[in-house]
Amino acid sequence: MTGFEITIALCGDLDARAEAAFWDAFVAEAIEAAGLAYGGGARGFVTRADGGDAADGDRRHLATWLRARRDVERFDVGPLEDARPLPP
């Protein structure tokens, strides 16, 4: 299974309501609507919700979604990497 890290910096002038609205939209529109799963906050990890491999198209989808948001100051979408848990 592969996934990728993502880091999001929101604009500094957002109030708590606007930040909450961003995260609600991010989860609903960018993550769940694309069949993805996300763990984290401003820095997190993205995988496929069905346990499959994330792909470059998933990375491009999130970058496009974030680029279109006026409430995002900057973001970074990391490279694909192994997302399997380490053995105990």
Helices assigned H by DSSP within 1-88: 16-25, 56-67
The confidence score (pLDDT) of residue 87 equals 75
C-alpha 77/C-alpha 88 separation (Å) is 29
The confidence score (pLDDT) of residue 88 equals 76
For the chain, percent of residues with pLDDT exceeding 90: 92
pTM: 0.92
Q: Per-residue pLDDT for 83 more than 80?
A: yes
Segment 13-55, tens digit of pLDDT: 999 999 999 999 999 999 999 999 999 999 999 999 999 999 9
